[in-house]
């Protein structure tokens, strides 16, 4: 166990009402006592856990700030160690001075994610729960928050643990049967192994297939808005963003760069790029914008193809339709407030996910979000169910899945129980690596290196 006492500023590196400096380790309370003079005269050492004291932090003899110190006693703290959290005034300089006062008294500066790493090493969190803490901090929308909270509460951990337990039961039975022939243990039926393996493989396959959905929920959906000039792309982008991000004019070709914006659609984050209108153009700058727009298509998870419903499909529209074949497209027929000239039925033939909106009058946004969720199968993506949150977890799950598939084949080919048990053990090992119960230091270090200092 780590026996060093560490401290860091746990609130953002920004000015705010209050900032929190967290200290954790065996000397956390003694170290805080060295810099903190309580108004009551009662040292923090004399405080029980979950109590707070008001006083002043000193750097030597110089008062730095009036603060509240909260004491947590091991193991009932975030890290599982003794912890003191000092809430001071939220200025950048004053916060750093409080931290400096502690560092001068033998406390070490915490590394990235070191508090959460200690929580993991002390058994307060599984690795998947610790990873969820990072996701929770990053969450940008309602659905990603739900998903991170669910993982933090252990939904993935419990799902994986249940699979592991079932496999362990089978593996234990095989081992007992093979190792203690004289004990008259019931023979292992291949049906018993088969059922468990099939159940677990099925559940793993579900988790693996929901990975992309989960990623979209957590990280937002890479979205491109495309359409010929003047159909209302910028107006749509501004409507979704709720602010003027793109320039809206009557002159075709005004949007020349890709404008970035993050918008929320029904709790899901869209990472939007409003692009130059797609058309043949002699203008070099505009042409560059058009190329950029087309490049975006290659990585887009969602394309909002905008058409002007007040005019029939033009050559430019048809060119765009051609480019968008087989892509994840929602066709947005804009300007529904004007007399309709567009053949909506024909367009629907190309794009089954089609909505009519008026970006100017703000109508049709609900239909748009519904079409997006439909297209990406996110309608029934339950953000609070267990989901694999990153590539590390994905690759462990994939390995367990492959190994179990192999075991099933081994079983069907009638191999010995020994061979089956070896394959089963490897699969269990992959699941233990996923939850962090059997994981190398290098992997643990890698996971926590992505955290910010102070978490």
Residues that bind ligand GDP (CB under 6 A): 227, 229-235, 248-250, 254-255, 277, 334-335, 337-338, 358-360
CB nearer ligand GDP, residue 178 or residue 294? 294
Q: Output the residue with the shortest Cβ distance to ligand GDP.
A: 232
> CA–CA separation, 416 vs 188, rounded Å?
11
CA distances from 361 to 157, 231, 248, 330, 404 (A): 47, 14, 15, 20, 55
Complex with ligand GDP: residue 66 or 337, whichever CB lies closer? 337
Q: Cβ of residue 352: shortest distance to ligand GDP, in angstroms?
A: 22
Tell me how crowded residue 394 is: count the other CB atoms within 10 A of its CB. Answer: 18
**What is the nearest approach in angstroms of ligand GDP to the Cβ of residue 254?**
6
Q: At its nearest, how many Å lie between ligand GDP and the CB of residue 296?
A: 15
* Closest separation in Å from C-beta 206 to ligand GDP: 41
Give me the least distance between CB of 407 and ligand GDP, in Å please.
56
How far is Cα 96 from Cα 262, in angstroms, rounded to an integer? 32
* Residue with Cβ nearer ligand GDP (159 or 275): 275
CB of 242 to ligand GDP, least distance (A): 15
Shortest CA distance to 431 belongs to which of 156, 148, 210? 156
Q: Which is nearer to ligand GDP, 25 or 364 (CB)?
A: 364
* Phi, psi angles (nearest 5°) of residue 231: -80, -15
Nearest to 234 by CA among 211, 210, 251, 216: 251
User: How far apart, in whole angstroms, are the C-alpha atoms of residue 435 and residue 446?
Assistant: 15
Question: Helix crossing, 417-435 with 127-138: angle to 10°?
Answer: 40
64 vs 342, which CB is nearer to ligand GDP?
342
Q: Which two tokens mark 335? A: 């300007």
Residue with Cβ nearer ligand GDP (301 or 358):
358
CA distance 34 to 101: 9
Give all strands (DSSP E) within 203-296, no chain letters: 221-226, 259-265, 268-274
Please report how close the Cβ of residue 228 comes to ligand GDP at its closest, in angstroms.
7
Complex with ligand GDP: residue 250 or 380, whichever CB lies closer: 250
């Amino acid at each position: 166990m780590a026996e060093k006492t560490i401290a860091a500023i746990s609130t953002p590196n920004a000015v705010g009402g209050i900032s929190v400096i967290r200290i954790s380790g065996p000397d956390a309370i003694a170290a805080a006592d060295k810099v903190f003079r309580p108004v009551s005269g009662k040292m923090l050492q004399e405080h029980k856990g979950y109590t707070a004291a008001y006083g002043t932090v000193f750097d030597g003899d110089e008062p730095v700030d009036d603060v509240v110190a909260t004491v947590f006693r091991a193991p009932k703290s975030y890290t599982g160690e003794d912890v003191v959290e000092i809430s001071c005034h939220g200025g950048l300089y004053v916060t750093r001075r409080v931290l400096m006062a502690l560092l001068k008294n033998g406390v070490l500066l915490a590394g990235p994610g070191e508090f959460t790493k200690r929580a993991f090493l002390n058994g307060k969190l599984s690795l998947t729960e610790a990873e969820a803490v990072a996701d929770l901090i990053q969450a940008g929308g309602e659905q990603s928050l739900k998903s991170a909270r669910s993982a933090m509460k252990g939904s993935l951990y419990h799902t994986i643990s249940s699979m592991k337990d079932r496999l362990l039961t089978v593996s234990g039975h095989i081992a007992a049967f093979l190792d203690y022939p004289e004990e008259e243990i019931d023979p292992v039926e291949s049906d018993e192994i088969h059922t468990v393996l099939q159940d677990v493989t099925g559940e793993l396959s579900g988790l693996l297939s929901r990975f992309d959905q989960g990623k979209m929920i957590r990280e937002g959906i890479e979205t491109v808005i495309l359409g010929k000039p003047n159909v209302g792309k910028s107006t749509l982008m501004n409507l979704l963003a709720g602010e003027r991000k793109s320039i809206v004019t009557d002159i075709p070709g005004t949007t020349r760069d890709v404008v970035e914006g993050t918008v929320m659609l029904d709790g899901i984050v869209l990472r939007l790029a409003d692009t130059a209108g797609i058309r043949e153009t002699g203008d070099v700058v505009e042409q560059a914008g058009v190329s950029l727009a087309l490049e975006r298509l290659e990585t887009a998870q969602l394309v909002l193809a905008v058409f002007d419903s007040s005019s029939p499909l033009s050559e430019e529209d048809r060119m765009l339709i051609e480019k968008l074949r087989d892509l994840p497209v929602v066709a947005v027929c804009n300007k529904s407030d004007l007399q309709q000239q567009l053949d909506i039925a024909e367009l629907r033939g190309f794009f089954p996910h089609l909505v009519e909106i008026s970006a100017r009058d703000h109508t049709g946004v609900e239909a748009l979000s519904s079409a997006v969720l439909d297209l990406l199968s996110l309608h029934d993506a339950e953000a609070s169910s267990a989901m694999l949150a990153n590539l590390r977890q994905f690759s462990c799950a994939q390995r367990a899945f492959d190994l179990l598939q192999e075991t099933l084949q081994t079983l069907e080919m009638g191999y010995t129980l020994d061979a089956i048990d070896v394959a089963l053990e490897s699969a269990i090992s992959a699941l233990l690596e996923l939850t962090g119960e059997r994981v190398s230091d290098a992997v643990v270090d890698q996971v926590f290196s992505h955290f910010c200092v102070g978490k």
